[in-house]
Structure 1
Amino acid sequence: MDKKTDLTARNFPTAGEDAEAAIEPSRYAGAESAYRLAFTDTEFLLREELRPVRMQLELLKPEMIQSEHGIRSTIVIFGSARIAAPDAALARLDAARATGDAEAIRRAETAVTMSRFYDEARRFAAIVTHKSAEMSTPVYVVTGGGPGIMEAGNRGAHEAGGKSIGLNIVLPHEQAPNPYITPELCFQFHYFALRKMHFVMRSIALVCFPGGFGTLDELFETMTLTQTGKSRKRPILLFGREFWTRLIDFDWLIETGMISPGDVNLFRFVETAEEAWEVLAEHYGFDLPETLTGEFADDT
Structure 2
Amino acid sequence: MNADKRRSAFPSASEDEQRARRTPDTPQTRSPAYRLAFTDLDFLKRDALRPTRLQLELMKPELLLQEHGVDATVVIFGSARSQRFAKDGSNDDLCGRDYEAARALARLISQAEGGCPEKLMVVTGGGPGIMEAGNRGAHDVGAESIGLNIVLPHEQAPNPYITPELCFQFHYFALRKMHFLMRARALVCFPGGFGTMDELFETLTLIQTGKIDPIPVLLYRKAWWDSILNLQVMADAGMIAHKDLDLIQYVESAEEAWETIRDYCKSTCANHK
TM-score using structure 1 length: 0.83
Separation in 1, partners of 2:28, 2:131: 44
Task: Please tell me whether the aligned partners of residues 117 and 265 of structure 2 are also in contact (alpha carbons under 8 angstroms).
Answer: no
Instruction: In structure 1, give the amino acid aligned to 2:139.
Output: H
Q: Which residue of 142, 154, 176 corresponds with 2:123?
A: 142
- Shift in Å, 1:74: 0.5
Aligned to 1:268, which of 235, 239, 249? 249
Counterparts of 1:21 and 1:135, CA distance in 2: 51
Query: Percent identity over the alignment?
Result: 54
Counterpart-to-counterpart distance in 2, 1:45 and 1:266: 41
Asked whether the equivalents of residues 132 and 139 of structure 1 are also in contact (C-alpha less than 8 Å), the reply is: no
| Paired position in structure 2 for 1:157 | 138
Q: 2:218 aligns with which of 231, 237, 240?
A: 237
Alpha-carbon distance in structure 1 between the residues aligned to 2:242 and 2:117: 38
Residue equivalent to 1:102: none
Displacement of 1:133 in angstroms is 11
Alpha-carbon distance in 1 for matches of 2:234, 2:80 = 28
- C-alpha distance in 1 between matches for 2:116 and 2:231: 37
Matches of 2:65 and 2:32, distance apart in 1: 37
Q: Greater CA deviation, 251-260 or 223-232? A: 251-260
2:58 matched residue in structure 1: 59
Partner of 1:33: 32
Map of 1:3 onto structure 2? none
Instruction: Provide the rounded CA distance (Å) in 1 between the counterparts of 2:29 and 2:179.
Output: 39
CA contact (8 A) 2:144 2:163 kept: yes
SS in structure 2 opposite 1:11?
coil
Q: Please list every run of 5 or more consecutive structure 1 residues that lacks an aligned counterpart in the other structure.
A: 1-7, 95-107, 287-292
Q: What SS is found at the alignment partner of 1:168?
A: strand
Partner of 1:279: 260
- Aligned twin of 1:46: 45
Check conservation: 1:208, 1:238, Cα contact below 8 A. Answer: yes
In 2: Cα distance, 1:174 partner to 1:32 partner: 35
Q: Cα–Cα, structure 1 residues 31 and 213, in superposed 2: closer, same or farther, change >3 Å?
A: farther
CA distance in 2, matches of 1:44, 1:18: 18
The structure 1 residue matched to 2:16, chosen from 10, 15, 18, is 18
Distance 1:29 1:112 in 2: 65
Rounded Cα–Cα distance in structure 1 between residues aligned with 2:158 and 2:28? 36
Amino acid in the other structure paired with 2:165: E
Cα deviation 1:195-242 (Å, max 9, x = unaligned): 000001110100000000000000000000001111100100000101
| Distance apart, 1:182 and its partner CA | 0.5
Is residue 121–residue 149 contact of structure 1 (8 Å, CA) maintained in 2? yes
Classify the secondary structure of the residue corresponding to 2:233.
helix
**Which amino acid in the other structure matches residue 21 of structure 1?**
R
Secondary structure in structure 1 of the residue aligned to 2:218: strand
What is the CA–CA distance in structure 1 between the aligned matches of 2:140 and 2:29, rounded to whole Å? 50
Question: Any stretches of 5+ residues in structure 2 without a counterpart?
Answer: 1-5
Q: 1:10 to 1:285 in 2, by over 3 A?
A: closer
Q: How far, CA to CA, are the matches of 1:270 and 1:135 in structure 2? A: 19
RMSD after superposition: 2.4
- Tell me how far apart the structure 2 counterparts of residues 126 and 76 of structure 1 sit (CA, whole Å): 13
Choose 1 or 2 for highest CA Rg: 1
The answer to whether the 8 Å contact 2:145/2:162 transfers is yes
Q: AA paired with 1:35?
A: Y
**Partner residue of 1:207?**
188
Aligned to 2:76: 77
**CA deviation profile, 1:162-202 (whole Å, cap 9, x unmatched):** 11000000000121000000001000000000000000111
**2:3 counterpart residue number:** none
Partners of 2:152 and 2:26 in 1: how far apart?
39
Cα 1:57–1:158 shift into 2, 3 Å: same
Deviation at 1:259, TM superposition (A): 1.4
User: How much has 1:282 moved relative to structure 2?
Assistant: 2.1
Distance in 2 of aligned mates of 1:76 and 1:197: 12
**Secondary structure in structure 1 of the residue aligned to 2:66:** helix
Matches within 5 A, 1:283-298: 283-285=264-266
1:251–1:227 distance in 2 versus 1, CA, 3 Å: same
